[in-house]
Amino acid sequence: MSLADSQSRHDGPARGRPRSEAVERSIMEGILKLLEEGVPLAELSIERIARTAGVGKATIYRRWSGKEELFVDVVRAAEPPDPELPGTSVRDDLVVLMEQLRRRGLMTRSSVLLHNVIAQMKSSPKIWDAYHGNVVEPRRRKQHAILRRGQDNGELRTDIDVDVMNDMIFGPMLVRTVMRPDADLPEGLAEQMVDAMLEGLRPVSSRTS
């Protein structure tokens, strides 16, 4: 896996000193190299990462507060970047986000390395917390904002809590990508799920309203 493309697409850490993308990239690629060699996450020390990347430990600590934050950046750079939202409708934005989730699921299945990295991350509570706080929570806040926009502009019902609605929309794809590694993720699934969720699973002809 190369970070050459993905690295430029996210902002990375900001630490009050001039950044050097080349240095950051070599540090992150050093981690991937160690992981590819089968070194377990628990044995990845800042010292070993620095040695592999050919930099001093201080160079790493200037950019990341510790192993957890650094590792989360590695995962974030390896995942597809967050997509641009069309903004044409809440429905269209939801389809794009769901499609992103589907693609991330396909990528995790096809990349043994990414698969292992995520599995190891889940077994380390500190790193999982860092990933959750830095990646998952901001993503959820963005989803909530879209749903609130839909409630405001009449695209979505207002009688369901935004957090519950969020799980109703993204939960089905999450289950198929994360909990059910054998479930089909065919093209068009994102759109089908979003539309079925918006219109309901009851046949239109039998609606009493």
Residues of the shown chain interacting with a copy of itself in the complex, contacts defined by CB under 8 A: 123, 154-158, 160, 163-165, 167-176, 178-180, 183-184, 189, 192-193, 196-207, 209
CB of 88 to a copy of itself, least distance (A): 16
CB of 193 to a copy of itself, least distance (A): 6
Region of 195 (left: φ > 0; alpha: ψ -120 to 50; beta: rest) is alpha
Separation of alpha carbons 29 and 36, rounded Å: 10
Residue 34 vs 165, nearer CB to a copy of itself: 165
Closest CA to 61 of 97, 114, 15: 15
Question: What is the secondary structure of 39-75 as a DSSP string?
Answer: --GGG--HHHHHHHHTS-HHHHHHH-SSHHHHHHHHH
* Lookup: tokens for 74: 């590695």
Residue 21 vs 152, nearer CB to a copy of itself: 152
CB of 133 to a copy of itself, least distance (A): 13
Residue 30 vs 105, nearer CB to a copy of itself: 105
Separation of alpha carbons 20 and 126, rounded Å: 27
Contacts of 38 (CB under 8 A, 6+ apart): none
The gap between the terminal CA atoms of the chain, to the nearest Å, is: 53
Residue 45 vs 158, nearer CB to a copy of itself: 158
CB of 111 to a copy of itself, least distance (A): 20
Residue 29 vs 99, nearer CB to a copy of itself: 99
CB of 170 to a copy of itself, least distance (A): 8
Residue 84 vs 161, nearer CB to a copy of itself: 161
Separation of alpha carbons 60 and 50, rounded Å: 7
CA distances (Å), origin 2, targets 8, 40, 77, 131: 12, 20, 9, 20
Separation of alpha carbons 32 and 203, rounded Å: 49
CB of 155 to a copy of itself, least distance (A): 7
